[in-house]
Structure 1
Amino acid sequence: MTDIKKKTNAQENKTEINNSDKISGGKNIFIIKNPLITEKSYSQSLSGKYSFLVERNANKSEIKKAIKSIYKVDIIGVNTINIKGKDTRFGAKTTKHGKYKKAIVELKSGQKIDTMPA
């Protein structure tokens, strides 16, 4: 006699869970802060490139997975830029302001993300 174990519905559902939406390292989709809306980013969005402000410790693969899971689009490439903070002076004291990381995401042709206000 052969012993064949049958899977229950609960076990089948557990094995069918798609892990591609999860981001490695325990990070979640909150690495995307918000879309960056400027004149330059608007003109780039007409050619399929969209700009986002992201967490400073996020890398390109995490950004790609997060954008893919949020907007359900296919991504060709991701470029990241670290923007340095500007020095401001108040008397003898100097401080830095405005450090952030920007990601420019290029989508497959024919796909759009609705981030720009009308």
Structure 2
Amino acid sequence: MNQERIMSILLAPHVSEKASLAAERGEFVFKVAINATKLEVKKAVELMFDVKVDDVRTSVVKGKTKRTGAVSGRRSNWKKAYVSLQEGQDIDFVGAE
């Protein structure tokens, strides 16, 4: 895996009520590339946030079908990853010092 591929794996942190509850348990949720593997997600998180990853679980979220009048469309599928950190590790998205 090259450095450029690893840097393009993580797209954004996923913010939701469920993700906030998971963060209290030491799990963080990220939107990741649809073709990303668990090993790539682990390496990307360790590289970008300088933490030790314990476990990665991934899930493909199916896109919804939407309608506007007679026109029907579909949102794209996307993948999210639940990343569990080792004991004592934390990710600070705010960056306040």
What TM-score comes out, normalization by structure 2 length? 0.86
Q: For each residue in 1:9-61, what CA deviation from the matched residue of structure 2 results, as whole angstroms up to 9, or x when unmatched?
A: xxxxxxxxxxxxxx359623121011111121111111110000001011101
> CA 1:98 to 1:76, structure 2 compared with 1: closer, same or farther past 3 Å?
same
Structure 1's unaligned 5+ residue stretches are: 1-22
Structure index of larger Rg? 1
1:96 corresponds in structure 2 to 74
Structure 2's unaligned 5+ residue stretches are: none
Q: Identity of aligned pairs, percent?
A: 34
Query: How large is the Cα RMSD of the aligned pairs?
Result: 2.2
Between structures 1 and 2, the one with greater strand share: 2
What TM-score comes out, normalization by structure 1 length? 0.72
Residue 54 of structure 1, aligned match among 32, 36, 46: 32
Higher relative contact order (CA 8 A, sep 6+): 2
Matched, 1:77 2:65: no
1:117 CA drift (Å): 8.6
Q: For each residue in 1:83-118, what CA deviation from the matched residue of structure 2 results, as whole angstroms up to 9, or x when unmatched?
A: 000001233332111421100000001110012698
Moved over 6 A (4+): none
